[in-house]
Amino acid sequence: MTYEFDKDLLRILVCPKTHTTLTFDEINSELISKAAGLAYPIKNGIPILLISESRKINQDL
């Protein structure tokens, strides 16, 4: 079964570390916080906004 992320959620979701906006990376199915340099996974259509579950990303993105 394939789950899709509801892009309307981007209006209300923020990075739990910096409280800044997130962007959706469709290719990797992640929410990106450029301010924190972190990517939060989306599993089964549900964003996992836990800092411990995030991965560091290149700040040049």
Which CATH number goes with the domain that contains 35?
2.20.25.10
Q: pLDDT class for 58, splitting at 50, 70, 90?
A: confident
Question: How long a stretch of residues is the chain?
Answer: 61
Q: Which amino acid is at 37?
A: G
In a domain, 32, yes or no: yes
What whole-number percentage of the chain has pLDDT above 70?
92
Smallest CA-to-CA distance from 33 within 18, 48, 52 is with 18
Total domains in the chain come to 1
In a domain, 61, yes or no: no
Whether the full predicted model's pTM is greater than 0.85, yes or no, is yes
Q: Write out the two tokens for 45.
A: 């259509």
Please state, in angstroms and rounded to a whole number, the distance separating the CA atoms of residues 38 and 17: 9
- Structural domain that includes position 11: 7-56
